[in-house]
Structure 1
Amino acid sequence: MATLVVVGATTMFGLAWLTLLLLPALVVVQILATRVGVLSGRDLQQAVRDGYGRVASVLLLVSVLAVNVATIAADVGAGAAAIGLLVGVESRWLIPAFAAGVLALLLFGKYDEVERVLKVALLGLLAYGAAAVLARPDWLAVARGSLIPSVPFTREHLAGTLAILGTTLTSYMYVWQTVEQVEEPGSRERLKLREFDALVGACLAVVIFWSILIASGATLGARHEHVETAEQAAEALRPLAGPLAGALFSLGLLASAIVAVPVIMATGGYVTASAFGWPRGLSRTPRQAPRFYAVVVAQTVAGVALAATGIGPIRLLFLASLIAGVATPLGLVLLALAAGNPALVGPTPIHLSLRVAGWVIAVVVAAVSAIFLAQQLHLVPGGG
């Protein structure tokens, strides 16, 4: 959400086409992750450790945790800011309370209860579709930006491209997808249903991504406003789209935080516990998996501490997306390798075309990441 707000503010509708192009990429990655989880009976971290050794496992662990703490910090800050906007309370005092509420859900709730909360919270993301319409964009410009690919070689467009890829194809997303297949019984018998679920989820995600970009482009982008905080993002919608759009934006922001934070917290626990062979899982109690939950708590405390520094959650989330864009190619490569390893997924290999598509996505994200880093180091030219 935050990434697309920043991209809309800096490029208007210039990268709307990329949000739509994410659909096939998301479908490929999610189905690959689903099949690896179902056929191997392992989450990705365990599959990497069993198939490629401790070094690869630790590299994946670092690449996930490097993004997690910053993203947790920004998300708890964003969730607190959304509550503050909706009820008129100073948001910084709500950060520990919001983080504690999500942490309590993971510590004391069962896996099916956590999943039920996430599914209900997802409905709040539909607010972005309404916000996009209420923002009254120039629909002809929206059509051009959505249907005609264009990436001007500027710092803003290149950073926006990498951030969108990083926040969408981020490693905790497909690691969590493999975790779900292991946590829920009967996944192998319902593989086709799991894949259909991944397809529907990808379609809904892309619609929401596009809506956020259009809403922010029509408001923040049209007014050439750079946004650092959730308050700025929501308030910027009001002059053009009225108070209802601001409220909808805040509701969507809160929903996205409620959905994201427990997934990120739990994923950090899974990748760490899997890397070292510790008991793990939200289906276990803290007494049964103390080190798993210790990692969950440690990430949360670190995230709250970072959020308390006063860095705007929108800006922090955008920076976390850039870090994810740089880090995620490693996870994508390891996912593609696991998908083609019969020692992990069994004698019936995952279809070659799906694995090739996974490799192509990994190469593309790695190339964008390399160009971005080269530009930051002034090794290649880049405009404004």
Structure 2
Amino acid sequence: MAARDSSKHRPAKGAAREHHENRLLVQSRGYFRRLGPGIVTGAADDDPSGIGTYSQAGAAAGYGFLWSALWLLPLAFAVQEACARLALVTGKGLAAIIKTTMPRWVLVLAVTLVSIANTVNIAADLASMAAAFRLIVPVNQAIGVIGFAMILAISEITIPYHRYSKALRWLCLSLLAYVAVLFVAKVDWSAVVSSTVFPQFDFSKASFALLIALAGTTISPYLFFWQAAEEVEERKQRPEDFEIDSEHPSGVNQNHMRAMRGDVFSGMLTGVFIMFAIMATSAATLNAQGITNIQTAEDAAQALRPIAGDFAGLLFLLGILGVGLLSIPVLAGSTAYAIAETFGWRESLELKPRQAKAFYAVIVVSMFVALALNLIGIEPVKFLILAAVLNGLAAPVLMAIVWWLARDKNLLGKWASPIWSKLLLGMATVAMGSLPLFWLLAK
């Protein structure tokens, strides 16, 4: 492919440049290639443990929880937009911002919560990937877990960010497997529309538990740190795009902000739509046949085969593997960024291992601990439950911190949270914090 003549796109000297200018050119060819960190973040939201949660929701409640997708989309977007905006304006990751603006105990709490939740999530995803792979190629579960852990750790450490991010974007295509399954299965589209537009909720303990799982899986703490870190990485890749002057003291202009929001919304829309597709598919195939208890993502794929055919089951399995290859590096990477920013270590996926030894050591340790959790014999389903609980406990605390930082005019100037962001992010924080209380009070 011929190199693009960058002079045609370069603004005149003194003019404000565009952040991640490629992602502004969404109306020309190569749209998918031009998307930024948002699409990776949104796709990573549908990790194997998330797929298991969405499958269980569709199997247990049929089409009954499809309405949650419409409600969760704006809330998830508000959280990720605030994290991206903080990083875009300050040029720092989330942990680094907390470190310089809030008491140290807040930083320790935030990083501890996300590190523990991420490690358990990696363990759950490795277990699901190995189990799914075993249904295609009969290998021992432990061998599969070790193999995937080694492949993912080595690739994340050895491949520079500008190449690695492209690979992550291509892995997002694995999500199309769930869209394909949706159209292969016999879906009652009138019931889908009705359940989506007209919410029904019985306020039972079981329903609240399911809603907590869906919300915690969709609004996951590791995405907050990853979104911010990758905005910083993108900014490092294009330092010439941020010319600081009296009008733009942070180097950010309205076009930067518009591009970021479009990118983040595209990513979260992708993640929530896949959530919707998995729940609808599980309702049409599993719930319709009386199968209401699906413990893991691979169980859902196995159950789909006799109902929707080998084609649907195989697509589901391939989706689990593809999304796992995408989400586990995001989980390990977000932990590494958070800890490195806390201690002031050099941190970037663009650096070579010898240039950021501590940063990459965190990735290795995170993978090793997750691998050890698998090898000591803990059941995969317990990982799924533990990951959901930890995400549910960590999310509201971290969301409250993000809400507080994003509204700080001393930190962000004119880019502090607008009214719509304060309201949506505030609603999301209150909802995530209140759902466990409603669950305790429900019968």
TM-score calculated relative to the size of structure 1: 0.92
* Partner AA of 2:285 in structure 1: T
1:42 corresponds to which of 80, 87, 92: 92
1:185-334 mapped onto 2 (5 Å cutoff): 185=235, 186=238, 188=252, 190-222=256-288, 223-313=290-380, 316-334=383-401
Question: Secondary structure at 1:184's aligned position in 2?
Answer: helix
Equivalence for 1:107: 157
CA contact (8 A) 2:52 2:294 kept: no
1:315: how far off? 5.3
Q: Secondary structure at the match of 2:286?
A: helix
**SS of 2:355 mapped into structure 1:** coil
CA distance, structure 2, for counterparts of residue 134 and residue 204 of structure 1? 20
Amino acid at match of 2:217: T
Partner of 1:64: 114
Q: 1:129-140 to 2 correspondence within 5 Å?
A: 129-140=179-190
| Kept after mapping to 2: 8 A contact 1:238/1:245 | yes
- Which residue of structure 2 aligns with residue 368 of structure 1? 435
Structure 2 residue aligned with 1:124, among 174, 183, 189? Answer: 174
Match of 1:335 in 2: 402
Aligned sequence identity (%):
31
Cα distance in 1, alignment partners of residues 442 and 206 from structure 2: 13
Question: For 2:395 and 2:73, how far apart are their aligned partners in 1?
Answer: 17
CA distance, structure 2, for counterparts of residue 310 and residue 220 of structure 1:
29
**Is the Cα–Cα contact under 8 Å of residues 36 and 44 in structure 1 kept in the other structure?**
yes
Match for residue 57 of structure 2? 7
- Residue 317 of structure 1: how far off its partner (Å): 2.5
TM-superposed CA distance for 1:49, in Å, is: 1.1
Paired letter, 1:283: E
Q: What count of residue pairs does the alignment treat as equivalent?
A: 376
Separation in 2, partners of 1:371, 1:319: 20
Separation in 1, partners of 2:393, 2:202:
20
- The answer to whether the Cα contact below 8 Å between 1:229 and 1:312 also exists between their aligned partners in 2 is no
Structure 1 position 257, deviation (Å): 0.7
Matched, 1:356 2:423: yes
With over 3 angstroms needed to count, the CA separation of the structure-2 counterparts of 1:348 and 1:120, relative to structure 1, is: closer
Contact 2:56–2:292 under 8 Å retained in 1: no
1:162-211 Cα offsets, whole Å, 9 max, x none, are 11111111111121111111111247463321211111112111211100
Query: C-alpha offsets along residues 111-167 of structure 1, whole Å, 9 cap, x if unaligned?
Result: 122211211111011110111222213333322322221222223211111111111
Residues 288-338 of structure 1: per-residue CA shift (max 9 Å, x gap): 222222211111111112223444545523441232122100111111111
Within 1, Cα distance between the matches of 2:259 and 2:60? 39
CA RMSD of aligned residues (A): 1.9
CA distance in 2, matches of 1:352, 1:247: 46
**Counterpart amino acid of residue 368 in structure 1:** L
Instruction: Work out whether residues 80 and 94 of structure 1, in 8 Å CA contact, stay in contact via their aligned partners in 2.
Output: yes
Question: CA separation of 1:90/1:244 partners in 2, compared to 1, >3 Å: closer, same or farther?
Answer: farther
Q: Distance in 1 between matches of 2:229 and 2:312?
A: 36
For residues 80-109 of structure 1, what are the alpha-carbon distances to aligned partners after superposition, in whole Å with 9 as ceiling and x for unaligned?
223222334344321111111110111111
Letter in 1 for 2:267: G
Q: Deviations over 1:223-274 (max 9, x none)?
A: 2342234442211001210000000100111122111100000101111111
Q: Which amino acid aligns with 1:106?
A: E
Written as runs of structure 1 = structure 2, the 5 A alignment for 1:36-185 is 36-185=86-235
User: Aligned partner of 2:405: which letter?
Assistant: A
Q: Which residue of 1 aligns with 2:67?
A: 17
- Which ranges of structure 2 fall in alignment gaps of 5 or more residues? 1-50, 242-251
Write the letter of the residue equivalent to 1:129: V
Aligned partner letter, 1:159: A
The one-letter code of the counterpart of 1:71 is: N
Residue 12 of structure 1 contacts residue 214 of structure 1 at CA under 8 Å; is this kept in 2?
Answer: yes
In 1, distance between residues paired with 2:151 and 2:415?
Answer: 43
CA–CA separation in structure 1 for the residues paired with 2:257 and 2:154: 31
SS at match of 1:287: helix
Please give the alpha-carbon distance, in whole angstroms, between the structure 2 residues aligned to 1:13 and 1:23. 18
Which secondary structure does the structure 1 equivalent of 2:354 belong to? Answer: coil
The 3 A distance-change label for structure 1 pair 218 and 316 is farther
Q: Distance in 2 between matches of 1:310 and 1:241?
A: 32
Distance 1:348 1:226, change over 3 A: closer
